[in-house]
Amino acid sequence: MASGNDANTARRARATRSAGLLPLVIGLASAAALTGAAYFTVDNASCGSPAQYIRHDSHVELVGGCVDGAKLPAAGTSSPGGVVPGNYNP
């Protein structure tokens, strides 16, 4: 027959295993949720044509895709609101 000390040891071993299993289950569930959210986001992104890089004589150009070049700031202009990023080197 098991003594009281052996029963306490067995209970603690079970508690330790279940306490170690809980973070694993939570981690797997959150990874699955983030993967599902990423897949849903990419699947619902409406883009007319996929982007592709085309090499010209001395440069590479991105053609197609969802980025509208007219909405991007021109090179060499200041950022909106006059805020200068910390890694700005004139």
User: Higher pLDDT residue, 14 or 23?
Assistant: 23
Q: pTM for the complete prediction?
A: 0.41
Per the CB < 8 A criterion, the answer to whether 50 and 65 are in contact is yes
Q: What is the pLDDT of residue 76?
A: 66
pLDDT value of position 27: 95
- Overall size of the chain counted in residues: 90
pLDDT at 45: 75
Position 37 pLDDT exceeds 70: yes
pLDDT tens column, 44-80: 877 767 788 999 888 998 887 777 777 777 776 665 5
**Domain residue ranges of the chain, discontinuous segments joined by +:** 4-69
Residue whose C-alpha is closest to residue 24's, from 34, 36, 32, 14: 32
